[in-house]
Amino acid sequence: DTGVSQDPRHKITKRGQNVTFRCDPISEHNRLYWYRQTLGQGPEFLTYFQNEAQLEKSRLLSDRFSAERPKGSFSTLEIQRTEQGDSAMYLCASSLSRLNTDTQYFGPGTRLTVL
Amino acid sequence: KNEVEQSPQNLTAQEGEFITINCSYSVGISALHWLQQHPGGGIVSLFMLSSGKKKHGRLIATINIQEKHSSLHITASHPRDSAVYICAVPSSYNTDKLIFGTGTRLQVFP
C-alpha cells in the first residue's frame, strides 16, 4: 500500500454512459498525475495537477475527458459518453515536488471496461 | 520526443538465477525511474537514479548517462519477483511528465 487510493477499483459500463473515478493522494503531496494503461503497454500520461491547478493535458485526453482537483487534495477523472476504446486501467500517482526527488507513488488503479 | 525502449519484452527464469532487464532512451535526462507492476495493476517505484548505481536488497539499478542506457538486475531471483518491470524517463519538453517503456514481463519459476 503506497498510501494513494483509487475508487472504484473496477468499473464496467455500457457505451455512452458517463463514469467518474476518484483518486486520494498522499496527504502532503502537492502533485497528482493521471495515467492510462492499456494491455501490454506502459502507462501513458493524461494530465497532472500542482495543488488545484491543472498544469497540462495530453492530446490523448479528448473533450470527453475532464479532471479536477478542486481543493488541492483528492482528484476526479470523468469520462463522458464512454467508448469501447476507453477500456483501460486508469492510474493515479502523487508526489511531493522537490528538486531531484520527485518520486511518484502510484495508486492501485481503476480498471474500466466499456461494453 | 523522448522514446524509451526496454528489452527483453518477456523473460522467464528459474529461481536463483541472475536477471538483467535493459532500458534505452533517446534524449538526455535528469533521472530515470524503475517501477514494478504486479498482476492487478499496482505500481511500486523501485529506484530513481541519475548516475552510477543504486542497490536495494536483491535489486541493483545502474545507469550510463553517456550511452543513454540503464539496467535493472535481480540477484538470486525468487518467484515473488514475478512482475512487469517498467522504466520511465522525464519527457524532453516537460520534465514533470514521465514517458514509460512498455515493460518487461518477468516470470520466475521455482
Q: With bands split at pLDDT 50, 70 and 90, how would you rate the model's confidence at B30?
A: confident
Q: What is the pLDDT of residue A111?
A: 95
- Asked if the model's pLDDT at residue B40 lies above 80, the reply is no
Q: How far is B61 from chain A (nearest CA, A)?
A: 16
Segment B48-77 shows an average pLDDT of: 94
- Asked if the model's pLDDT at residue B2 lies above 70, the reply is no
Grid cell digits, residue B48: 530513481
Q: Which residue of A has its CA nearest to B42?
A: A108
* Of A69, A88, A84, nearest in space to A31 by CA: A69
CA A56 to chain centre: 13
Sign of CA dihedral A58, A52, A21, A28: positive
DSSP state of B39: T
Q: How far is B86 from chain A (nearest CA, A)?
A: 7
CB < 8 Å to A56, chain B: 94, 96-97
Q: What is the pLDDT of residue B23?
A: 97
Q: What is the pLDDT of residue A98?
A: 65
Q: What is the pLDDT of residue A99?
A: 54
Of residues B31, B43, B102, nearest to A40 (C-beta): B102
- Residue contact B97–A56, C-beta within 8 A: yes
Q: How far is A16 from chain B (nearest CA, A)?
A: 25
Pick B87 or B29 by higher pLDDT.
B87
Ranges of residues in chain A whose predicted pLDDT is under 70: 98-101
- Residue contact A91–B43, C-beta within 8 A: yes
Q: What is the pLDDT of residue B88?
A: 93
Tell me phi and psi for residue A24, to 5 degrees. -110, 110
First to last CA, chain B: 41
Grid cell digits, residue A78: 470523468
Q: What is the pLDDT of residue B34?
A: 96
Mean pLDDT of chain B: 92
| Residue A14: how many other CB atoms lie within 10 Å | 8
Using DSSP's 3-state secondary structure scheme, residue A45 falls into: strand
Pick A57 or B87 by higher pLDDT.
B87
Pick B77 or B42 by higher pLDDT.
B77
